[in-house]
Amino acid sequence: MTNINKSSERLIATVVSNKRVGQYHQILLNVGQMVNGCKPGNFVAIKVGGDNAKMILRRAFAISRVSHSGPYGGSMELIVAPFGQGSKWLCAQIEGATIDLIAPLGTAFGIPTEPVRALLVGGGYGSAPLFGLAEVLKNRGCRVDMYLGASTGGKIYAPMEGKRSVNVLKIYTEDGSMGERGRVTEPIPGLIADGLVDVIYSCGPMPMLRAISHIVAGSDVVHQCAVEESMACGVGICMTCVLPVADSEGNVSMKRSCIDGPVMDGSQVMWDLVGKIPEAHA
């Protein structure tokens, strides 16, 4: 029996604030003592749409960060893009509204016991969980650099906030509208060749995570990635978020992103088999 989600609980949380930040919403929830079990990489499953909604399944959202103190006590921050029906409903909630949620869910990023040189790579608003992770790593004495990328500058979340959280922040956009023109993965081979990074933590689109995994292959760099496979239930029941993952002996099985992830060892994800049946590749 897995120990993942053993500390999760259902809670009716209150919306403390809901601020528009560029294309996204920064939503702060009062969750009290729940923050004690939350770690960077965990996510929350929220009942969306209200009591009369037709959206039966909960929606999964990455936890950006938590705070153990402050005027509201324990609080949880979510960065939400109002794209789908569920996320639009969440982004429309006003201060004082109540949210039915289950958290913390999923696996978290592994934190080194000794200081390392860490590179945090984020794509679009998927980079939000990296800000809380950066704070934890810096408290461990790690050197923390952050590279953020997107197709255009408007999709980069809170670049100034990222700059305050890390030693070095670099931004890459494919259209050159912010930072340097190009993909966020392009400078990584040079960093590895120069021995400037020990571990890469990544959040963002699956093609970006796959590219990083291929870049670090054959090196001593560890790659921990938070996969963005679509989740329906978020608690390991529906089996819609499975990915082909290899064990230490090379045996491939389908793992649930919500239980065995979202944080996974990038070297063990069989990226070429995503969306396929592993046996057909044998």
Mean pLDDT (the chain, rounded): 89
Q: What is the pLDDT of residues 237-260, one digit of tens each?
A: 777 888 999 988 888 989 988 888
Residue from 72, 81, 82 nearest 35 by CA:
72
Confidence band for 1, pLDDT divided at 50, 70 and 90: very low
pLDDT value at residue 125: 79
Q: 247-268 burial string, b = 16+ CB within 10 Å, else e?
A: eeeeebeebbbbbbbbbbebbb
What are the E-state strand segments in 22-112?
24-30, 43-47, 59-67, 75-80, 98-105
What is 253-264 written as a DSSP string?
EEEETTTT-BEE
Domains of the chain listed by start with CATH number? 9-105 (2.40.30.10), 117-281 (3.40.50.80)
At 281 the pLDDT is: 43
3-class DSSP state for residue 9? Answer: strand
